[in-house]
Chains A and B, each alone.
Chain A
Amino acid sequence: QVQLVESGGGVVQPGRSLRLSCAASGFSFSSYGMHWVRQAPGKGLEWVSVISNDANNENYVDSVKGRFTMSRDNSKNTLYLQMNSLTLEDTGVYYCAKDRFPYTNSHLGYYYGVDVWGQGTTVTVSS
């Protein structure tokens, strides 16, 4: 079945870096745009970033632009989120999710949401 499994979370000091991974299985990974969504403790969902199916295009929420970089390796069915210069506000559970439909150019907008989510990996930024 379709599955997304995140890893790489942990406890890190402010200003340090962390790289998250999301292993995909059960679908044609290279056909789908992918997203990261996060959730601070006790708070709502916040969209973080998207990458196109071919890895050529990305988009980010302003609060992480210049600090986070999303990438993917379609040969390994794996998605990544490189997080640099972490701040306390980056603490939370990070979910990866796939586009509902293939080839939707979701980095440009006008797409019909995400349909599968991973279980999340927890990032704690603390001194």
Chain B
Amino acid sequence: DIQMTQSPSSLSASVGDRVTITCRASQSITSYLSWIQQKPGRAPKLLIYAASRLESGVPSRFSASGSGTDFTLTISSLQPEDFATYYCQQSYNAPYTFGQGTKLEIK
């Protein structure tokens, strides 16, 4: 199975900050990576697919890059509604594993 490792596991930041979350795959997954946001008690929401493509309706302050084994999600200027948990997921080989999550909290 492909292991997905996110860092950091948690992050405290302020409104207006720029934050970056990283995701590393245990083997190359080319660009078969998604970034997903989840707020407490809510269903997950797709932010990014194909490693860098912004899902329709997602604010442009979200961006992502990477290929192969190393990927990043960047939020350029944090807004209050961005405080949530973020997951990466590989869709290269089953089982389609998720990272352990990065909890973004208000400082």
Chain A interface (Cβ < 8 Å from any Cβ of B)? 35, 37, 44-47, 50, 59-62, 95, 97, 100, 106-107, 109-120
The answer to whether A47 touches B89, judged by C-beta atoms less than 8 angstroms apart, is yes
The answer to whether A114 touches B43, judged by C-beta atoms less than 8 angstroms apart, is no
Q: How far is the CA of A41 from the CA of B24 in the complex (A)?
A: 25
The distance from the CB of A123 to the nearest CB of chain B, in whole angstroms, is: 16
Q: Which residue of B lies closest to A116 (CB)?
A: B46
The answer to whether A113 touches B89, judged by C-beta atoms less than 8 angstroms apart, is yes
Q: Which residue of B lies closest to A99 (CB)?
A: B91
Option from A59, A112, A113, A120 in Cβ contact (under 8 Å) with B94: A59
Q: How far is the CA of A114 from the CA of B90 in the complex (A)?
A: 11
The answer to whether A44 touches B91, judged by C-beta atoms less than 8 angstroms apart, is no
Provide a sorted-by-A list of 15 A–B residue pairs whose CB atoms are within 8 angstroms: A45-B98, A46-B98, A47-B95, A47-B97, A60-B95, A100-B49, A107-B94, A109-B91, A109-B92, A109-B94, A109-B96, A110-B91, A112-B49, A113-B33, A113-B34
